[in-house]
Structures are given as C-alpha cells and as structure tokens.
Amino acid sequence: MSREIPPTECCVTIAGTGSYVPEKVLSNADLERMVDTSDEWITSRTGIKERRLAADGQATSDLATAAAKRAMEDAGVSAEELDLIIVATISPDAFFPATACYVQKNIGATNAMCFDISAACSGFLYAIQVARHFINTGNRRTALVIGAEKLSSMVDWEDRNTCVLFGDGAGAAVLRRDDSGDAGRKVISASLGSDGRMTDILHVPGGGSAMPITHDNADQKLNTIRMQGREVYKNAVNAMRRAAEDALQRGGLTAADVDMLIPHQANKRIIEAIGERMGIPAEKTFINLDKYGNTSAAAVAIALDEANKTGAIKDGDNVVLVAFGAGLTWASTLVKW
C-alpha cells in the first residue's frame, strides 16, 4: 500500500549510502595471462589496476541486494518503510521481470513499487532524479535507488581493448522526503540528457529483438560490449563537463564552489580532463577506478558510498556527481552534503 502525501515541492535528501563489490579480484597481471596486454599498458591508458568479478551463480540482483541492505542500515530505514525501489542496470538478471522486483523479494520490501531503468553508466543519476520526482509529487516518501552491474557476463574476454575496462559491483542510496527544510545531504539540482545519434559508439549489438542470438551467429559474440574508444573519450569529456556546469548553474553555484567532484569511474584520463576543463583540482576529485574498473551504473554509486564512509565528503560540502554512458546519455547531480 502506497503512502500518499500532498503534492508539493519538498526537500529530498540522501539519508544513507551503501555499496558491495564481489570478493574475486582480477588484476592486470591476471589479464596479462589471458590476452595480449600488460599492466603498464592498462595502467597508463586507463588508471585501472584491478577489477572485481561476481562469483558463479551470483546475479546482478544479488549484488544490488547487498548494497541495498548496507544503504538501508546507514539510513536507519526498514524494508517496510520503502515505497519505491529503482534499479539502474544494463545487465539485469533477465529481460523480465525487473531486477528491482528480485531485490524487493530479497529484502522483504512489501510496500514498494519497483522497476528498472536503462541509461548505462548514467543510470544511477537518472534513477536519483526519477525518485526525486516521485517524492516531490507526493506519491512516495522513501526511495531505494540502486546502480548494479554484472558486466563480466557481457565482456568478450578475448578483446583486449574492452575486457581490461569493466568490473562488477553495486551501489545504493536511500532518498527520503524531509519537510523540515534544514536537512543535510539535500539534492539541490540535476542535469540530464541523451543523444541517440551515437548509439553505435558504445553498445551490445546482439541479444535483443533487433538481433536475437542464434546458433548461426553465436560464435560472433554479438552479445558482448563493443566500443569506439576515441569517440567515447571525446564525447564523454564534453558531455560530463556541460552536465556538471549546468547542474551547478541551476543550483546557483560555479565550479569554484565545488568541494568534491565524484565522476563516472571509466578512465583516469577522462576524469583528469574534466577536472582540468572545469578548473577543479585533483584533490577535490574522488577516484576509485584503480580498484574496481568501470562498473557502469554502479560506478558513481560505489564512489559516493566510499566518499561518504571514508569522510572524503563532509557536512556542508557541495558535491557534484556526474556520469556519461551509452545511448549516449549523461547526467549530473548537485548535493549539499
């Protein structure tokens, strides 16, 4: 049963964060034994040293559930209080039902409405904005937003250009309505966008209705990630910078007011370029991709939780979350921590 609240603009806060990464570590040294690559090549071009892989039988919903429980504990929220669950993922357990429904079952959130969204690496920030709208219209009070991926199930482990980039994991946040007006961790503004003209520079060509996997084409590995690296780099830097600056402008701030930038964890060169173009110093940029690689929709969510739990962000900080993903999609969120 949903809890109806009079529709009015309200304060939406991040009441808690959580994350989970699988135990199995795949290092660059491990990859050297699998494909023609080297630790030096991977590190110098991406900044990634290792990534995590889900165990056999561990699905995206399992990763999401673990992160969700930690976020709920951090927020002091019970499963019964949740009235909305959104999972952002491009590696769902199945085409249907929604991975969010599996999470609902796992945590016992019987009062929640559940669905997934697909916006690739921007998915977690898309989901935050969707949840924020539900809360602002008065239809929901407490939302669980999760970014979760098992990208190891979509990687061609013989393609040295892509298999070195991706990992598995999940991050989550609990969003709550706060009518006091003076709560911390308030979501201030957001900027989201898409450009479907560039769907082909980062995609999985097969496996869907347009190109079902058959016995005849299975050996072409059409259900694995394909990427045009240079095009992705160029568009990622420009799109994330614009999105971050737009969110700041909507919140009445500039890059000089940013205390912490938490960008999508895809490539260290991309992260450095964004900081340089915005004039945000490296010490105000949170990076953990060296440990986890690119976990798509989970990346910003995991980074936010680590920044929160390690004290990298503090009360009163202006925090900018920004991401870019296949679609093309991009998103940024400004939070007054």
Q: Estimate the crossing angle of helix 123-136 against helix 299-309, to 10 degrees.
A: 80
Beta strands in the chain (DSSP E): 11-20, 24-27, 50-53, 84-88, 113-117, 142-150, 168-178, 186-194, 202-203, 226-227, 260-263, 318-325, 329-336
Identify the CA nearest to 334 among candidates 192, 195, 210, 167: 192
> Does the active-site annotation cover 121?
yes
Buried b (16+ CB within 10 A) or exposed e, 237-268: bebbbebbbbbbeebebebeebbbbbbbbbbb
For residue 105, give the 3-state DSSP assignment: helix
Identify the active-site residue in 114, 121, 136, 288: 121
- Chain centroid, CA 36 distance in Å: 29
| Number of neighbours of residue 199 by Cβ within 10 angstroms | 12
> Does the active-site annotation cover 294?
yes
- CB–CB of 103/114 below 8 Å? yes
Helix (H) or strand (E) holding 140: none
Identify the active-site residue in 223, 294, 308, 318: 294
Separation CA 199–CA 222 (nearest Å): 15
Name 320's Cβ contacts closer than 8 Å, sequence gap at least 6.
Answer: 244, 247, 248, 258, 260, 261, 262, 332, 333, 334, 335
> Does the active-site annotation cover 264?
yes
Identify the active-site residue in 264, 267, 288, 318: 264
Give catalytic residues, as residue numbers.
121, 264, 294
